[in-house]
Amino acid sequence: MYLSIIFLPLLGSTVSGFFGRKSGVTGSHIISSSSVVITTILAIIAFFEVGFNNNTVSISLFDWIVSESFNIVWNFQFDSLTVSMLIPVLVISSLVHIYSIGYMSSDPHNQRFFSYLNLFTFMMILLVTGNNYLLMFVGWEGVGVCSYLLVSFWFTRIAANQSSISAFLTNRVGDCFLVIGMLGLLWTLGNLDYSTIFSLAPYINTNVVTIIGICLLIGAMAKSAQIGLHIWLPMAMEGPTPVSALIHAATMVTAGVYLLIRSSPLIEYSSTLLLICLWLGAITTLSSSMIGLFQGDIKKIIAYSTMSQLGMMVVAIGLSSYNVALFHLINHAFYKGLLFLGAGAVIHAVGDNQDLRKYGGLIHWLPLTYSVILIASLSLVAFPFMTGFYSKDLILESSYGQYHFPSIAVYFIAVIGAIFTTLYSVKVLYLTFIANPNGSLNYYKNAHEGNIFMSLPLVILAIFSIYFGFLTKDIYVGLGSGFFNNNSIFIHPLHEILISAEFGLSAIIKLLPFILTVIATGFAIVLFEFYPSLTNSFKLTNLGYNIFGFFNQRLLIELFVNKYIVDLTLKLGGQTTKILDRGSIELIGPFGAEKLLLSAGKLINSLSTGMVTNYALYIIIGIIVYLMGNNFYLFDINNTLLLSILCINIFIVILSRERRNISSSSLL
């Protein structure tokens, strides 16, 4: 069963990709979707068997690298963390496959698309089930390649190609540091196996743990779109909307957070690294939520929302609340996948337009889509008793419950980020469904709900977005829960803050995020509905123009990166290619050998002048070279005298040649 979980999506990808002409579009839909759905059912069974029974399953296939004490085996491990990650990965993947049958029905390349989706699912399973860092890295690189293929699926569009290259190269930066961190582990401990590394982690020097942990964190920053290496995530919205839902909401972007959670037995011994995670997540949450408020593309707003929630997960990791981070990761996957698929239904209904300023009044044409986006938005803003409420508010409470200055400061920063999250969620709902119609007449003539393949995944994800958090909160974050007794997550006893966060906080601290978000929502609705002239007049002032431009241009981070990092790297790479790479290859390779032989031939040919004195000169030089090469150690007074006589003769020959040349030129 466990091998079927791993390799069934690979089988579906192979059939759709290599035998797509034989299977046809319908056959590709059936094979690829059924393989992922069966895998999902098996993963749910594994969740009950492994998670509730604490029955860790390990499958060893074959040796990969065997070198003295360094052994890498294709070993797959199913523990509580693995089966927990498989639930959102496979549920979202199966629903996206079903959704794509309706969304991509008019595309001529369905077989290729479904093959990529299956391959991505396989690589993500490989990432979370690998029993060592190297096997995890295979899946890590695999999802990066699949992301490139899926974002540039419509490869005739220049923007799609640019976005896929941007995502690929930005992730290469993180991958480079991840490899350095793995090499540091290999140099320090001589192995990359999880069990070996985590058992020896308490005995490693703290500075070494910090350096290795920072390298792992930079790798996670690129994959999980933390501030600084986040620029690829909004650009990746150029791909089809099911791709956005699958990769950039629920699965691939959570790989970095998974890496940090999996490495909890290592990074728990570096307080510096935990503090970096805390502040990095807080800055990411605040900045991305503020940027998202000023965007006009519906998918980019949701993308910045994803980035903001990933920042919340990193905050939880910085607080050593790994179980809370995992709980929020799973909850976030369901309601963010629902947001993206709902946005896809809107885009599909209005002729592939993504500018929400040209929407309005769609509630009458798309009532189901409005309902599911409303449910997803309420869960996103942590409305009480929705799925997101049970994890997001717990992260905020944990940050205050640590009772240290950095964590209390991060609490207020994250609360401000939560306020902006509510504002852009209201903006999406209001401008898309409630405001006066602003689009062309064709939008409303052709607007309609999707077919059963598009509607069914929305309903299922809406149910998850309402009930999943309530049903599973005691499993992941309940006091005394034994779900992680198999040591898949390690929290140092000195870093345990769940009890103080749950019972030590006053009611006002727990209710403050909800109160502020309600006030901000009411203020925004009143301001834009009843006093729009105030907003417009402020926007036209110099201050309003500069504020809007600053946030609409994404805090000028991309401008700084392009001007001072990308340009410098391109110029340096161009010079390196021209001087070192290309020059060295040309000089050492056949081209250089040809030039050398031609030059040597011309030089030897020029020595043949037909003059006896020249030949005598060459003979004397040869004798001198022979004597110096073979009898240098035998030089005595006689040999020195002979060498002096030969040098004098050479000087006389050269002088006579010069006099002859001068006399001949004067006669001319």
**pLDDT score for 620:** 73
**pLDDT score for 125:** 93
**pLDDT score for 572:** 86
CB atoms near residue 401 (< 10 Å): 24
Mean pLDDT, to the nearest integer, of 206-227? 92
Q: How far apart are CA 195 and CA 131, in angstroms?
A: 8
Mean pLDDT, to the nearest integer, of 328-334? 93
Task: Identify residue 423 by its one-letter amino acid code.
Answer: L
**pLDDT score for 660:** 59
DSSP secondary structure code for residue 56 in this structure:
-
User: Where do runs of H (alpha helix) occur along 319-404?
Assistant: 322-349, 367-380, 387-401
**pLDDT score for 667:** 47
Q: How far apart are CA 487 and CA 54, in angstroms?
A: 10
**pLDDT score for 633:** 46
Least confident of 176-190, 426-440, 518-532, 633-647: 633-647
Q: Is the dihedral of CA 254, 255, 259, 261 positive or negative?
A: positive
**Burial 343-376, CB ≥16 within 10 A → b, else e:** bbbbbbbbeebbebeebbbbbebbebbbbbbbbb
Q: How far apart are CA 471 and CA 309, in angstroms?
A: 21
pLDDT at 21 over 60: yes
Q: What angle do CA 22, 25, 27 make, to 5 degrees?
A: 65
In three-state secondary structure terms, 77 is: strand
Band (pLDDT 50/70/90 cuts) for residue 651 is low
pLDDT above 90 covers a percentage of the chain that reads 35
Q: How far apart are CA 406 and CA 416, in angstroms?
A: 16
DSSP secondary structure code for residue 222 in this structure:
H
CA atoms within 13 A on the CB side of 350: 29
pLDDT at 668 over 60: no
What are phi and psi for residue 531, nearest 5 degrees? -130, 55
Q: Which residues pair with 70 in a beta bridge?
A: 67
Q: How far apart are CA 534 and CA 519, in angstroms?
A: 19
**pLDDT score for 355:** 85
Band (pLDDT 50/70/90 cuts) for residue 368 is very high
**Radius of gyration (C-alpha) of the chain in whole angstroms:** 33
Least confident of 139-148, 185-194, 604-613: 604-613
pLDDT at 521 over 90: no
Residue 20 contacts residue 115 (beta carbons within 8 Å): yes
User: Where do runs of H (alpha helix) occur along 130-231?
Assistant: 133-151, 158-189, 194-200, 206-223
**pLDDT score for 20:** 81
Q: How far apart are CA 445 and CA 349, in angstroms?
A: 10
**pLDDT score for 437:** 84
- Exposed/middle/buried for residue 620 (C-beta within 10 Å: 0-12, 13-18, 19+): middle
Mean pLDDT, to the nearest integer, of 499-525? 86
Least confident of 46-55, 110-119, 219-228, 495-504: 495-504
Q: How far apart are CA 614 and CA 517, in angstroms?
A: 98
pLDDT at 258 over 90: yes
Instruction: Give the pTM.
Output: 0.85
Which whole-number Å values give the CA distances from 360 to 427, 438, 447, 524, in the listed order?
A: 11, 6, 12, 17
Q: Which residues pair with 132 in a beta bridge?
A: 193
Average pLDDT over the chain reads: 86
Give the number of residues written for the chain.
668
Which whole-number Å values give the CA distances from 147 to 168, 232, 303, in the listed order?
A: 8, 11, 15
Q: Is pLDDT larger for residue 237 or for residue 256?
A: 256
Q: Convert 292-326 into a string of H (helix), E (strand) and C (coil).
A: HHCCCEHHHHHHHHHHHHHHHHHHHHHCCCHHHHH
Mean pLDDT, to the nearest integer, of 619-645? 62
Band (pLDDT 50/70/90 cuts) for residue 666 is low
Q: Which residues contact 627 (CB under 8 A, 6 or more apart)?
A: 639, 642, 643
Mean pLDDT, to the nearest integer, of 142-171? 89
Q: 414 is written with which tokens?
A: 């994250």
Residue 126 contacts residue 142 (beta carbons within 8 Å): yes
**Burial 46-60, CB ≥16 within 10 A → b, else e:** bbeebbeeeeebeee
Residue 313 contacts residue 444 (beta carbons within 8 Å): no
Q: How far apart are CA 589 and CA 497, in angstroms?
A: 64
Least confident of 102-111, 300-309, 327-336: 102-111
Instruction: Quickly tell me which residue has 């969740």 as its tokens.
Output: 47
Q: Which of 44-53, 433-442, 623-632 ranks highest by mean pLDDT? A: 44-53
Band (pLDDT 50/70/90 cuts) for residue 310 is very high
What are all long-range contacts of 361-365, with beta carbons under 8 Å and residues at least 24 apart?
A: 361/433, 361/434, 361/435, 361/436, 361/437, 361/444, 362/432, 362/433, 362/447, 363/433, 363/434, 365/444, 365/447, 365/448, 365/449
pLDDT at 626 over 80: no
Q: How far apart are CA 302 and CA 286, in angstroms?
A: 15
Q: Is the dihedral of CA 257, 258, 261, 263 positive or negative?
A: negative
The predicted-structure confidence for 74-128, as pLDDT tens digits, reads as follows 989 999 999 999 999 999 999 999 999 988 888 888 899 999 999 999 999 999 9
Q: Which residues pair with 65 in a beta bridge?
A: 72
**pLDDT score for 127:** 93
Residue 292 contacts residue 255 (beta carbons within 8 Å): no
Select from 262, 366, 257 the least CA-distant residue to 309.
Answer: 257
- Exposed/middle/buried for residue 164 (C-beta within 10 Å: 0-12, 13-18, 19+): buried
Domain positions in the chain are: 1-540
The predicted-structure confidence for 393-425, as pLDDT tens digits, reads as follows 899 999 988 888 888 999 999 999 999 999 999
Band (pLDDT 50/70/90 cuts) for residue 528 is confident
Q: Which residues contact 70 (CB under 8 A, 6 or more apart)?
A: 186, 190, 191
**pLDDT score for 644:** 67
